[in-house]
């Protein structure tokens, strides 16, 4: 007769909290254009979120 196997319940890892500054790891930023005056452009560009470094999760 074989001994009975012990079964243990696997616990799931808690879901990481979302980043407070972004949702996808990227943020939209405006940028300046022009030779010397550097006027503000009305366009936006995607940039890496500096809070979560692009992961989308809150830092621990």
- pLDDT tens string 1-60: 677 787 888 888 888 899 988 888 899 888 888 888 888 888 888 989 988 988 889 887
Tell me, what's the pLDDT at 48? 92
Neighbours of 16 (CB within 10 A): 13
Its domain, for residue 55, covers 16-31+42-60
Model's pTM, two decimal places? 0.53
Neighbours of 49 (CB within 10 A): 19
Note whether residue 8 is domain-resident. Answer: no
| SS3 state at 26 | strand
Say how many domains are in the chain. Answer: 1
Nearest C-alpha neighbor of 59 from the set 27, 28, 22, 13: 22
Note whether residue 56 is domain-resident. Answer: yes
**Residue 9 in tokens:** 């319940």
Tell me, what's the pLDDT at 40? 87
Tell me, what's the pLDDT at 32? 87
Tell me, what's the pLDDT at 23? 82
Task: Please say whether the beta carbons of 57 and 22 come within 8 A.
Answer: no
Note whether residue 3 is domain-resident. Answer: no
């Amino acid at each position: 007769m074989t001994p009975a196997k012990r079964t243990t319940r696997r616990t799931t890892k808690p879901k990481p909290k979302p980043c407070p500054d972004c949702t996808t790891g990227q943020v939209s930023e405006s940028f300046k254009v022009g030779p010397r005056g550097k006027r503000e452009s009305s366009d936006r560009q995607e940039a890496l979120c500096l809070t979560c470094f692009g992961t989308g999760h809150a830092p621990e």
